[in-house]
Each structure stands twice: as C-alpha cells, then as structure tokens.
Amino acid sequence: MQSNKKRILLADDHAVVRNGFRMILNAQDDLEVVGEAANGRETVELAVSLQPDIVVMDVTMPELNGIEAARRLGDAVPRARILALSMHKDGVYVREILKAGAKGYLLKDSSEDDLLSAVRAVGRGEGFLSPGVADAVLNDYRKHVTNPLDLLTSREREVLQWIAEGKTNKEIAQALTLSVYTVEAHRGRIMEKLNLHSTGELVRFAMRNGVID
C-alpha cells in the first residue's frame, strides 16, 4: 500500500550514483524516493520541506559535508533516520558520522542486497554497519573509549568476573544457565574486544579495572 512506503531522500553529489540508487529503491514495494540533493545544504533544506523517513546521504559532499548535515538534520528533522554512504573504510569517518546522528554506515561498493538491508534496518530504527567497516569501528572505538569495560555488554562483564574469579567455562555455564559453547563465545569476544591474549591477562585486566579485588 502506498501509504506504508518509507519515504527516502537521496543525497549525493554524483548524479550517476543517485540514479542507480533511485532505480533500486523505487523498484521495491515498501520504499519510495521522494527527493534528491546534490550537497549538504540542499539536503537539510529538502529534508525540512519533504519530511522523509530516511535520508540516504554521502559523507563527503560539497558546501556542507555529510557529518555537519547529519548534525543539522538531527535538530531540524529529528524523525528522519540517516543512512550514511561512503567510499571510506576508515573508522574516523564512521565514528564522526555516527556521533553526528547517523543510524547506519554503508560502503558505496556494497551489493544491492546490502543497500536494501541497510535502508530497511535504518527505517525500523535499527543500526547498520557494512561488514567492511566493522573492524575499523572496533579498533577506533578501542582507541577512543575512556573505560575499556564500556566495550563489553552487561553479560560479557558478568562472564569476565567469573573468569577472573577462577571459574571454568563449565562452572560459569551452570551458574548462568548457559551452554559451555555460549560461555566460550563470550570469552572469545571479551578477549577480542579488550585485545587480551590469555586468561592471565584477563585476570590482571579485571583486577586493574576493579572487576575483582
């Protein structure tokens, strides 16, 4: 049904890119491109007048770059969700545009399926990161996070404490009613996120950061 379509504003300074994206998006039953902009300033103006659900926007545009445009869109059109487009895999670009309010980051060389997945995820209010930038984001976040514990989920912090207290994977699994496999996966993710390589390093980290005495 027409009224259920997500309304999209496309912003990119290359007409060829916009044309390609418009054709892909307009071919979907649930998506509709309602406007196009060639620079950041025009993007903000059009977003205010069109009130789109989603703004698919290049990070590097003339007159007003995507990062600054995203900040202004957050103030001017808070309901619009932003999917950033870029050629850059550098974590700095991703960090800055997400900090500015974008919900997703899609590399321009992504497949058609990835584009549609990204647009729909952002339209639902979910985040989306191109697989090609996930590592860069994690590394960048590691460098800029003030407390490394902030990298961990609540469950991962819980598992970290059990490991630091000397419990085996089996004991942790029983205590938390998880499978041993799940505990092993948590342990692996904790070590990857904190850039640690042994249980001894994990224990020392836990002591240094007040997880255990």
Cα separation, 136 vs 115, whole angstroms: 20
Q: What is the pTM of this model?
A: 0.67
Q: What is the pLDDT of residues 9-19, one digit of tens each?
A: 999 999 999 99
Residue 25 burial (C-beta neighbours within 10 Å; 0-12, 13-18, 19+):
buried
Kindly list the distances between the CA atom of residue 60 and the CA atoms of 3, 37, 40, 92, 95, in Å, as whole numbers in the listed order: 32, 13, 9, 13, 14
Task: Give domain limits for the chain.
Answer: 2-142, 146-208
Q: What is the pLDDT of residues 126-152, one digit of tens each?
A: 999 998 887 777 777 777 766 778 888
> What are residue 107's DSSP bridge partners?
86
pLDDT at residue 1 above 60? Answer: no
Cα separation, 41 vs 78, whole angstroms: 16
> What are residue 11's DSSP bridge partners?
37, 57
Cα separation, 98 vs 86, whole angstroms: 13
Superfamily of domain 2-142: Response regulator (3.40.50.2300)
The architecture CATH gives domain 146-208: Orthogonal Bundle (1.10)
Q: What is the pLDDT of residues 169-191, one digit of tens each?
A: 999 999 999 999 999 999 999 99
Q: What is the pLDDT of residues 92-128, one digit of tens each?
A: 788 888 889 999 999 999 999 999 999 999 999 999 9
Cα separation, 120 vs 97, whole angstroms: 19
- The type of residue at 111 is S
Q: What is the pLDDT of residues 62-101, one digit of tens each?
A: 888 888 899 999 999 999 999 999 998 887 788 888 889 9
